[in-house]
Structure 1
Amino acid sequence: MSGSVFHLLGLSQRAGKTVSGDFAVRENIIKGKVKLLIIAADTSERIKQEYIRIGQSKKVTTKIAFTKHELGSALGKSPRAAVAIMDPNFARGIESLLEGGEA
């Protein structure tokens, strides 16, 4: 696990700026509240494509990284297929770490 990314995910969760769970993620993407969408690499192709399609329609930056278990652990929850970051500052920080090879 990458400490920096998971640390930011945990902070974002505690700050109430992260949403997980299928219904909540989809609802917030549609409402235009999501700044960054992280999809677990071990999510089924069908679900990945649905999230990507919804994200593209709302111009949400989407990254595929980690496993369901890793995402859930970072948030202190059960395994998660997708995590939506709502805060632009957390989103920017997490995205830069992912692009910098922290994943």
Structure 2
Amino acid sequence: MKNSYLNLVGLAFRAGKCSLGEDAILKDIRARRAVLILLARDIGPQTKKKLTDKCKTYKIPYAIVDDRETLSNAIGKTQRVAVAILDAGFAAKIKTLLGE
């Protein structure tokens, strides 16, 4: 089941429906473009607090997923600890695959 959500994250990234990087994700949360935030299990404590607090403030759902290496491999980039999904369809399917 885990591979399915990773495949979907990769597909969303290739479709241009993701944003990467702390600053871009925070900007998308503030603009209410982000629909779902995926955080790596091994994200740094300060980054995790900043992103989760912002998600709670703006009522954006987030999920703690696999480690940074697995998440990075899914999108074909290196050392990515957070991914913002910008499309409601992708976000809904990813949430069901994660069992939320």
TM range (shorter): over 0.9
1:13 and 2:13 matched? yes
* Matched residue, 2:79: 79
Q: Tell me how far apart the structure 2 counterparts of residues 36 and 76 of structure 1 sit (CA, whole Å).
A: 19
- Measured against aligned partners, the alpha-carbon deviations of 1:58-103 in whole angstroms (never above 9, x if no partner) come to 1100101111111111011112111000000000000111116xxx
**Aligned residue in 2 for 1:53:** 53
Map 1:1-103; keep pairs closer than 5 Å: 2-99=2-99
- Quote the RMSD (CA, aligned, Å): 1.3
How many residue pairs match? The answer is 100
Q: CA deviation at 1:4?
A: 0.2
State the 1:57 CA deviation. 1.0
**For 2:2 and 2:95, how far apart are their aligned partners in 1?**
13
Q: Could you tell me how far 1:2 is from its partner in structure 2?
A: 2.4
* SS of residue matched to 2:5: helix
Q: Work out the CA distance in 2 between the residues paired with 1:77 and 1:12.
A: 14
SS of the residue corresponding to residue 55 of structure 1 reads helix
Query: Please, which runs of 5 or more residues in structure 2 have no aligned partner?
Result: none
Taking every aligned residue pair, what percent have the same amino acid on both sides? Answer: 33
Q: In structure 1, list runs of 5 or more residues that go unmatched.
A: none
One-letter identity of the residue aligned with 1:7: N
Are 2:2 and 2:98, in contact at CA under 8 Å, matched by a contact in 1? no
TM-score by length of 1: 0.91
